[in-house]
Each structure stands twice: as structure tokens, then as C-alpha cells.
Structure 1
């Protein structure tokens, strides 16, 4: 997008075209204004329109421009942290409520895809959280125990079963989560946009919000060529609310409370049928327990998408590409010599405790943020929650997260430099020998 092949890579090349939209010109009114055209904003727009509300969504660049169009496409349940840690952080009511919401969220994604006929290569085959070494096995074993205690359909695979499921003996075991799966992430975002438009929502792209003015009865969101007046506003910008689009956000605190963790993906050409059958025969998506983790999955054409922490810029391009070739060949020796045809990267917004936030940013202005690399399912579910809140179907006390104040991260810029540089150091020496 915007002439940068490393922004969305394979996903831009293989997604169906985005629905036709244009920039805002003139002044319009709506029941709810939404800022941000990612999963949260689009899900909110769809559910609001289906609930009978008039909706105007303002996206600074294009639908799916931020993390929604760049991620690996794993539709995971839950959070990065262990299930038992969630009620410890949020209390038993919100903690268990959030776990239920996010445990059911992949189902909402796949039901939405089916209900609206979204062409996004959806595969509900589960995900495999693969254990690296004894410590990794202990982690997935405990994670499985905690999810099973809540009735989740997860299975713990020993080393032999994991080798059969993944196609490599590199892992000490794996946690299979049958709730989960994969999608083509940009195609899913574009499909949500099309569904929202058909339901009656108005979507304006190339329309960054330059100011938000409280006029008493309504908020007026101004763009370069128009404005939206609405009594309720949903801020769905998350990690891309400032610093990535052509303009900053009227709510910069949403970005300031998140540390950007860079993440890249590389994709092979479509593999031969023999090679493709030897890896992930069940077509699950994979992520591992390393601190600097790796992830991989197939797309519908048989390309293997392989990613990890890091940014494909400066020296990072050479370091991460070389590591990826070594790491892939170590996992799957049959792929030695197979190159990559696509590459792209983006930023994950990380909160201090790896838990999302719900904010009341001003009178009538609300939003969820801080997805910590779990945007597809939570974004879809939280968008529906925000729609129900604005429709009056639920109150703030019924949401899966409590209201919290914005809290800027200390030394954020330094931490972001450290993450990017640290990933290069790890990958410079990793997967050798």
C-alpha cells in the first residue's frame, strides 16, 4: 500500500479488491462515528448498522492499513498470558468474563465469515503452540491445564504427536487449540468492510481525523475536506493511531500506552504438492514458546508464511532474511534452498501487562486498544461489544474489561529501539550450526 511492497506483502497481492470507498467530502451526521478501519472499527460498523444505527467510519489510509492487513493471520483464542493470570490482574468478574469473550472470539470470526460470505481463505483447523525445550513444554502443559479447567477444547500433544502434526521433530510437544484457525488477514478486513457497507454503514477512506471538537450534543470530527457530527464516537486506531498514518490522532494517549514490537513475515512461492504434504498436514497455524518467537502457516495457494520479531529495514532486512532461511531449513530440511518471494512487516502494540484496555476517552468517546498481537478475534469481538454499548443493549459494567485511564509507558521510545535491535542480535546468531 502507498507504494510500499513491504507494508502488506503477500496479503495485498492475494486479497480480493477492497470495496469501493472514497474520502469524506462535506459535512455528514451519524448516530456513531468510528475512527479506524481495522477489525475493531469494521466489526463495530457492521454490528451497529445491523442494529439500525447510522454509522460513519473514518479511515486515515485504506481499510486494513494497520495491523489488520499485516499480521500472520492466526485466529487465536485467549491472550498471550496464562488464563489464570487474567482474573489475577482484572479480578474474578472481569477476568473470567474476558476469558469467555476471547475464548469464543474465534468462533465469532468464522461465523461472521460464513454469514457474510467473506472470501478470506478461512481455515478452522486450530493452532499449535509449539514447545521449545523442557521449559516450553512446561509452559504449554500448564496452559493446557488452565484452559481445560475452563472447558476449552484443547489437547496437549507429546513430542511424537507434535512431530506428526507439524512435520518436524524440533519441538518437545504442542498445545492444539481447536477453537482457532487462520485467515488471510487483509482479505478478512476487506470482507468486513464490504459487509458493513451492505448493512448500511458509510466508510470513508483517505480521511484522517485532524480534530475532534465537543459541541455539547455531538462531537464533530474534522478531516481535510469535511466533518462527521455524532453523539457517540468509537476510537479504533490501536497501535496505528499516531506515527504511521499521514496525520496524528486527536487521542495520542492510545498510542502512548503501547510499546511497538516489530514483526515481519516472509512467504515462499507455492510449494510442490509433495513438499506441502510434509508440513502441517492438518493446516493449523503455528507459533512457538521462544521469547523471540516464530510463527508459520500455509496460505490457500500452498505458500509457507514464516515470521518472527523484527523490522525489515536497514540492517534488519539482511539479518532477518538470512535467519529465516537458516531457521526454516533447520525445521524442515526438505526446504533447504527454497527462497522467499514476499516480505512485509508492521508493528504490534504491547501493553505493560499484555492485557487489552477499555477507555472512556471523553464524554461519549470510547475504545478498546492494546491487542498485543492478538487482533483478529479480539478486534472482531470487541467491535461487537462497542456496537452493543452504543446501541444501549449493554452498559459499561457489562463489558469484558473495566474502564481504565490512559497510562503512558515510561521510556517507550527507548524500549522500541531495544526491541528492534535485540531481535537483530538474536537472529544474527540464531539457527546456526
Structure 2
């Protein structure tokens, strides 16, 4: 994308082409303007358009430019927070409501892929949360117990079962979540865009919103070469927010995350690594993730940015870690490396905001954007249509609150990841 191999890497090379879009020119009038062409914005636009609402999506760059086109591609259920902790943070009503919504969220993704025949390398084989050491095992035992109490399709695997699923003896256990799966994320978000266009939505790219003003009962959004008038505005920009809602950016701490993709592995080696094609990640504080794509490339990632000295440090670390985790790979060569920003909130839970009358947003996915973004987009559409009252939303309505020492902490995480990866391998 934009001739930058480090922005979308492998996904840009292997995703189906994005539907044709143009810059917003002139003045248009719609019922709903959606800012951001990622999972949330395009899901909202698709569901609004299907309901007969006139909707326009406006993106500052292009479809899937932000986290939606850069992430690992794990379609997970729930959030990072332990299930039993959610009611304590959000209150019993919103906590249980959010757990139910996000527990079923991967299936919503799969249903859209099926309905619109989206070419995104979908695998419905689950995901593996892999335990490193005794601390990791205890964490997964708690998570398994809490999800099983809610009837979730999860199972705690022992060391031998984990080794068979992963293709490595590095882990003492793993939590297999059969609700989950993997996709090619840029392919998925481009497929959502195609579906939204087919349902009657308009999509404009290269059109950053510079200002917004109230005009009677409607909002007017101004770009460099055009304006949009709308009754409602959905802000779905998450970690890639700029003006005119900077408070959404300052609420989020940016955590950099990178991925490297190997060349396609030989067939005999490919069969020994994630043979059932689950995606995985581990319980380390500076976690790593791994999965295979359709062509047999191993995609391996962790915290860090591929800029400055980070490129060489993280690339060398990834190669060392892969050799240790999967010794059957004799020669580690990378075809692509890319990175982006994860928007982290202070409590690792997403936010629903009313920024002004009829301007609403979801943000703060904390590394779990695919399934939550898809279902939150649908919820936004249903709320605008009057099908879901504010009192029935899965999150309470809040105002953005800036995180303290954000800039310093972001720098610390980027430098800290380099220092950790400079001398270490995964285990």
C-alpha cells in the first residue's frame, strides 16, 4: 500500500484487489457518514445500506489502511480481560452483555464471509493460546474454567496435545478455542468494502476529514475537495485517528506490533507446523503470535516497530525464535515484514462514545479488532436505526479520557521491545 512494503507486507501482496474508489469531490448529502474504512466502519456501512439507509464511508487514506489491514489475522472470541473480570469492570449488565456478544463474534465474521463469498483464506479450525511455563498454565486454567462455565466451546490441551497441534514442544499447555479461526485480514476488509458498495453504500478514499460543523439538525464534514452532510456520523478510526476528534487518539496508548512472513515452507515441513491450521499466540508479557497462510508461509510476530534500529533487531530475533520454536525449519528466510499500531485502553476494554449529538464511535480494540470490530459495526448500525437503544448497548456510554504519560509510555514500549529482542529468543 502506498508503495510502503512495511505497512501491509504479505497481506498487500496476496489479498484480492480493493474495489475501485475515488476522492470525495463536491458536496453530497447522506443519512449517515462513516469515518474510517476498516472493520467497524465498513461493517456499519454494510448493515446500514442493507437496511435501506443512505450511507457514505470516508477514509483519509484507503480501505484497510489502519489496523484492519495490518493485523495477524486471528479471529478471536472475547477480549484480553478474563471473562469473570468483565462484570467487575463494566458492571453486571454490560459485562455479561459484552461477553455474550464477543463470545459469538467470530461466527458473525464467518457468516459475512459465507454470505458475500469474501476471498480471505478463512480457516475455521480455532485458535491456540499457548502456555509458557507454570505461570502461563495457571493463566490458561483460569481462562478455560471461566469460559467453560459459560458454555463456550474451549478445551485445555496438555503438553502432548499442544505439541501435536503446534508442531513444537515449547509449550506446557494450550487453550483451544473452537469458536475462533484465522483470515487474511486485508482480504476480509476489502471484501466488506465490496459488499457495502454492492448494498448501495458509497466509499471515498484519500479524503481526510479536516473539520466538522453543526448545520441545523445535521452535520457537515469538510474534506480538501468536498463536503458531506449527514444526520448521523460514525467515527471508526480507532488507533489511526487524527483530527477532528483528537481526544480519541489521546485515549489510546499505541502499542507497535510487527509480523514477518517466511517464504513458503517445503511441503514435508509445512505438514508438521500447525497441521490443522489454527493460529496461535503465547502467554508471555511480550507475546509472540504465529500462523500459516494458504501458501504455507509461517507468519510470526511480536511487539515492536520495524523502523530505525528496530527493523534489524526484530528481524534477527524473529529468525532466532522461529529456529528455536520450530527446529524443523532449517533455513529461515523472510518474504515480507510489516507493522502497525494497536490501540490500547487503560483497562484493556473497548469504548463507546457519544462525541456530540448524533456523533458516535467505538474504539480501543486492544489487539482484538476483527470480530469485535465486525459486531460493533453492526451494533452501531442497529443503534442508528433505532433497533438498539442506548440503554441496551454492550458498553456504557462514556467520554474519552486521556491516558497519562502516553507519549513517554509509547516510547518506552517501542524501545523496550527492541532491548528485549536484542539479546533474547522466544524461550
Q: Please classify the TM superposition score into its range, dividing by the shorter chain length.
A: over 0.9
Offset of 1:432 from its aligned partner?
8.1
Q: Residue 245 of structure 1 corresponds to which residue in structure 2?
A: none
1:312-358 deviations in Å (ceiling 9; x for gaps): 11111111011101100000111132211100000000000000000
The residue matched to 2:335 in structure 1 has which SS?
Answer: strand
Aligned to 2:421: 427
Q: Distance in 1 between matches of 2:282 and 2:51?
A: 40
Task: Please name the residue that 1:286 is paired with.
Answer: 280
Partner of 2:216: 216
**Long gaps (5+) in structure 2:** none
Determine the C-alpha separation between the residues in 2 that align with 1:103 and 1:426: 33
Confirm whether residue 273 of structure 1 aligns to residue 267 of structure 2: yes
Which deviates further from its counterpart, 209-218 or 188-197?
Answer: 209-218
| Equivalent in the alignment of 2:69 | 69
Deviations 1:114-155 (A, max 9, x none): 000100001111000000000000001110000001110000
Q: Distance in 1 between matches of 2:292 and 2:216?
A: 51
Report the 3-state secondary structure (helix = DSSP H, G, I; strand = E; otherwise coil) of the residue aligned with 1:334.
Answer: coil
CA separation of 1:223 and 1:167: change in aligned 2, threshold 3 A: same
Displacement over 6 Å in runs of 4+: none
Do residues 393 (structure 1) and 392 (structure 2) align?
no
Report the counterpart of residue 261 of structure 1 in structure 2.
Answer: 255
- How big is the shift at 1:272? 1.2
Give the equivalent residue in structure 2 for 1:194.
194
Specify the alignment match of 1:38 in structure 2: 38
SS of residue in 2 equivalent to 1:301: coil
Q: Kindly tell me: are residues 432 and 261 of structure 1, through their superposed partners in 2, closer, same or farther at Cα, counting changes over 3 Å?
A: closer
1:344 to 328, 338, 342: 338
Distance change (3 Å), C-alpha of 1:168 and 1:199: same
Secondary structure at 2:396's aligned position in 1? coil
Aligned length in residues: 427
Unaligned stretches of 5+ in structure 1? 243-248
Q: Is the 8 A contact 2:322 2:332 kept in 1?
A: no
Shift of residue 216, structure 1, vs aligned partner: 2.3
> Could you tell me the TM-score, scaled by structure 2's length?
0.99
Secondary structure at the counterpart of residue 234 of structure 2: strand
| Deviation readout 1:265-291 (Å, 9 max, x if unpaired) | 000111111010010011000010000
Partner residue, 2:358: 364
What is the rounded CA distance, in whole Å, between the counterparts of 1:77 and 1:216 in structure 2?
42
Provide the C-alpha distance between the structure 2 equivalents of 1:251 and 1:395, rounded to a whole number of angstroms. 24
* 2:177 pairs with 1:177: yes
Q: CA RMSD in A?
A: 0.8
Q: Choose the corresponding residue for 2:295, options 301, 304, 309.
A: 301
1:165 aligns with 2:165: yes
Q: Secondary structure at the match of 1:31?
A: strand
The answer to whether the 8 A contact 2:212-2:244 is kept is yes
User: Where do residues 370-389 of structure 1 align in structure 2 (5 Å cutoff)?
Assistant: 370-389=364-383
Rounded Cα–Cα distance in structure 1 between residues aligned with 2:115 and 2:339: 31
Counterpart residue number, 1:238: 238
Give the CA deviation at 1:425. Answer: 1.0
Distance in 1 separating the partners of 2:87 and 2:267:
45
Equivalent residue runs for 1:53-68 within 5 Å:
53-68=53-68
What does residue 246 of structure 1 align with? none
